[in-house]
Amino acid sequence: MNRVFIKTYGCQMNERDSEAVAALLRDKGYSIVPEEVNADVILLNTCSVREQAEQKAIGKAGHLSARKRRNPNLIVGIMGCMAQNKGDTLVDKLPDLDLVIGTQKFHRVPDHLDNVIASLNGLGPKPATIIDIAEEKGSQNTIKSHVEDNANVAAFVSIMQGCNMKCSYCIVPKTRGSERARPMNEIVDEIKALVAKGTKEVTLLGQIVNQYAVREFPFVDKKSPFVQLLEKVNAIEGLERIRFTSPHPVGFRDDLIECYTRLPKLCEYLHFPMQSGSNKILKAMRRPYSIERFKMIIDKIRALRPDIYISTDIIVGFPGETETDFEATRTAFEALKFDMAYVFKYSVRPGTTAEPEGDPISKETKEKRNQILLDILRHTSLERNQSLIGTAQEVLIEGPAKRGNGIFVGRTRGYRKVIVPASERLVGQLVSVKINEVTASTLTGDLIIAD
């Protein structure tokens, strides 16, 4: 009973948490399998930030509970943000669950699983559903293991947990807790270990990543702790690329902006959530910046790095968003020419300060506004990609593409996906690719062979 399947919902942090749980389970003798049909244990790592992701996870858990009633030896657990947020109420709805594990207790999964299996084997009393969602001091330092038998060309590295912001639509402070930073030297050591195994690119993860350790570590030479960390990571021999996500306009100072010119491994790519172009809506969202401040930061970055690629997050249909407010968002969105964006239709999240406002804007209006922004994005992204036709782009080959034998996928420094005929030996290598064809989301090209 040691075959485990982990299904992940939601963000890159959840993917990273799932990697860490998988590595911890391997260390205890468990086998991680790629298909749930072959698993004795199924763990769902869940998201509560968006209603759709939460409903998908609940639906999946209900399906697994029905399977468990037919096969009592199947072990089913829910981890992550939804587990943290709902706790006991999940068991009220799904009494067949074996585990409910919160965001600060991922490192406890192997021990909890051992106890469940022991009881099924008659080696201990059958426990009620194990619910472990309490806060734990130092939990930010436990998510540092990686799946060891995979060649991680690009890896996520968590540098902190939690969030101290109070955005009115967001449940993350409740599900992830307050900001807690990992020690800088431990992060650097983790990345060095990854590089020794073949990792060429790392993405530093934090809910508000540029707020890393602002309360724990001092500024040095007017540089924030996050900039100090970027400098140390940039100095790691063998590492080729650095990314980070997601920053906040609060604390996005000149010392960070200047990193885009003086740290050669920091890719010319930035994911920078705008959320709205209306100052009235930003205030209602409790986003403590103006659209003018947001634009100023982007203008400063583009003045230093005109070739930077910028993506964003937008919420349409927030309570109180009038046509005038949406027009401000549309105008800013079009003017800033984002290369990629996640556009969300607002949904009420229980426990947030916006919950009492309800969901007064119709589904049809939200859908219309959503589509307007997606149409702008499609045009802007395609135009930018078309400008790359005939150019040579540095591409990090990540692995085989889904298109067939001999076709591989990689990323440019600007995070554009590239499809290229290549060979297995080039996985993990930086290659030069001539771009021949493009869509709004993908580049296609051929290797440039040096003479």
Does residue 142 register a pLDDT over 70? no
Q: What DSSP line would sit under 116-174, residue for residue?
A: HHHHHTTSSPPPPPEEE----TTGGGS-----TTS--SEEEEE-EE------TT--HHH
Mean per-residue pLDDT of the chain: 91
Cα-based distances in Å from 234 to 145, 240, 250: 21, 8, 24
Q: What is the pLDDT at residue 405? A: 84
Q: What is the pLDDT at residue 198? A: 93
Q: What is the pLDDT of residues 284-333, one digit of tens each?
A: 999 999 999 999 999 999 999 999 999 999 999 999 999 999 999 999 99
Q: What is the pLDDT at residue 72? A: 85
Does residue 86 register a pLDDT over 60? yes
Residue type, 55: Q
Contacts of 383 (CB under 8 A, 6+ apart): none
For the ranges 5-19, 154-168, 215-229, 431-445, the lowest mean pLDDT is seen at 5-19
What value does the mean pLDDT take over residues 22-31?
Answer: 90
Q: What is the pLDDT of residues 258-277, one digit of tens each?
A: 999 999 999 999 999 999 99
Distance CA 193, CA 187 (A): 10
SS percent in the chain: helix, strand, coil, step 5: 40, 20, 40
For the ranges 22-36, 370-384, 412-426, the lowest mean pLDDT is seen at 22-36
Q: What is the pLDDT at residue 71? A: 87
Does residue 126 register a pLDDT over 70? no
Q: What is the pLDDT at residue 370? A: 98
Q: Which two tokens stand for residue 105?
A: 């207790």
Q: What is the pLDDT at residue 437? A: 98
Closest CA to 135 of 90, 158, 103: 103
What value does the mean pLDDT take over residues 253-260?
Answer: 97
Does residue 217 register a pLDDT over 80? yes
Query: Per this entry, what is the length of the chain?
Result: 451
Distance CA 348, CA 317 (A): 11
Report the chain's C-alpha Rg in angstroms: 23
Three-state DSSP string of 229-278: HHHHHHCCCCCCEEEEECCCCCCCCHHHHCHHHHCCCECCEEECCCECCC
What value does the mean pLDDT take over residues 104-127?
Answer: 81
Q: Which helix (H) or strand (E) holds 281?
A: helix 279-284
Q: What is the pLDDT at residue 261? A: 96
Q: Is 265 within 8 Å of 394 (Cβ atoms)?
A: no
For the ranges 61-75, 130-144, 149-163, 435-449, the lowest mean pLDDT is seen at 130-144
Q: Is 397 within 8 Å of 428 (Cβ atoms)?
A: yes
For the ranges 62-66, 430-434, 439-443, the lowest mean pLDDT is seen at 62-66
Q: What is the pLDDT at residue 290? A: 98
Provide the edge-to-edge strand list for the sheet that holds 269-271: 269-271, 309-316, 340-345
Q: How confident is the model at residue 234 (pLDDT cuts 50, 70, 90)?
A: very high
Closest CA to 17 of 62, 83, 75: 83
What value does the mean pLDDT take over residues 91-110?
Answer: 88
Does residue 2 register a pLDDT over 90? no
How many other C-beta atoms lie within 10 A of the C-beta of residue 102?
Answer: 26
Q: How confident is the model at residue 438 (pLDDT cuts 50, 70, 90)?
A: very high
Specify the DSSP class assigned to residue 11: S
- SS3 state of residue 35: coil
Closest CA to 389 of 337, 446, 332, 349: 446
Q: Provide the terminal-to-terminal Cα distance of the chain, rounded to the nearest Å.
A: 55
Specify the DSSP class assigned to residue 183: P
Distance CA 419, CA 435 (A): 9
Distance CA 191, CA 202 (A): 8
What value does the mean pLDDT take over residues 387-406?
Answer: 93
Q: How confident is the model at residue 374 (pLDDT cuts 50, 70, 90)?
A: very high
Distance CA 116, CA 108 (A): 13
Pairwise pLDDT comparison (52 vs 332), residue with the higher score: 332
Q: How confident is the model at residue 125 (pLDDT cuts 50, 70, 90)?
A: low
Contacts of 280 (CB under 8 A, 6+ apart): 320, 325
What value does the mean pLDDT take over residues 7-32?
Answer: 88
Task: Give the largest Cα separation in the chain, rounded.
Answer: 70
Q: What is the pTM of this model?
A: 0.86
Q: Do the strands 154-158 and 130-132 form a parallel or antiparallel pair, or are they unpaired? A: unpaired
Closest CA to 422 of 414, 433, 411, 435: 433
Q: How confident is the model at residue 140 (pLDDT cuts 50, 70, 90)?
A: low
Pairwise pLDDT comparison (119 vs 363), residue with the higher score: 363
Does residue 436 register a pLDDT over 90? yes
